[in-house]
């Protein structure tokens, strides 16, 4: 039996998929609100991946510096508004897609915050809609950088 890698040592895509598997289990156990929070976490990890692609892969910035920017941007909406939208502003198709994704991110964040900060409980239909919206966000964002990405297929 092989030892599992520590969570913080996994790639963003592996962390994202780990979150996605967790939320699937929560959903099956009818823990609707917890599943929504996990989905929002997966969306934020997807944003981290996109930001790392823009700053580390394309611009050769140091990983430690990028990690500090990710903390500074604070949250899914902040990462889109403060980092991804400005970073992609000169690439018309990406810029347009980021603006579309910002609308989805705001919806995802609003629901997550109502659960986490206001103690709201959600039902099965609300959870399904939130998870579907989050899956759409994740796939559209990641496929800008990795066109073959599938949320249900193990990533390298």
pLDDT (tens digit per residue) in 27-61: 899 999 999 999 999 999 999 999 999 999 999 99
Q: What is the DSSP string of 4-48?
A: PPPGGGS-HHHHHHHHHHHHHHHHHTT-HHHHHHHHHHHHHHHHH
pLDDT (tens digit per residue) in 74-109: 899 999 999 999 999 999 999 999 999 999 999 999
- Local structure of residue 2 (DSSP, 8 states): P
pTM, two decimals, is: 0.91
What are the sequence ranges of the domains in the chain? 14-143
Do 123 and 28 contact (CB within 8 A), yes or no?
no
């Amino acid at each position: 039996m092989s030892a599992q890698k520590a969570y913080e040592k996994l790639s963003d895509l592996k962390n994202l998929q780990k979150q996605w598997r967790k939320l699937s289990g929560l959903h099956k156990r009818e823990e609707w609100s917890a599943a929504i929070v996990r989905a929002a976490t997966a969306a934020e990890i997807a944003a981290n991946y996109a930001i790392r692609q823009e700053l580390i892969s394309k611009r050769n910035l140091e990983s430690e510096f990028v990690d500090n920017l990710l903390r500074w941007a604070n949250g899914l909406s902040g990462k889109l508004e403060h980092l991804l939208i400005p970073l992609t502003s000169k690439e018309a198709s990406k810029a347009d897609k980021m603006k579309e994704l910002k609308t989805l991110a705001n919806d995802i964040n609003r629901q997550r915050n109502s659960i986490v900060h206001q103690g709201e409980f959600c039902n099965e239909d609300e959870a399904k809609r939130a998870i579907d919206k989050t899956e759409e966000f994740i796939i559209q964002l990641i496929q800008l950088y990795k066109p073959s990405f599938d949320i249900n297929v193990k990533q390298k």
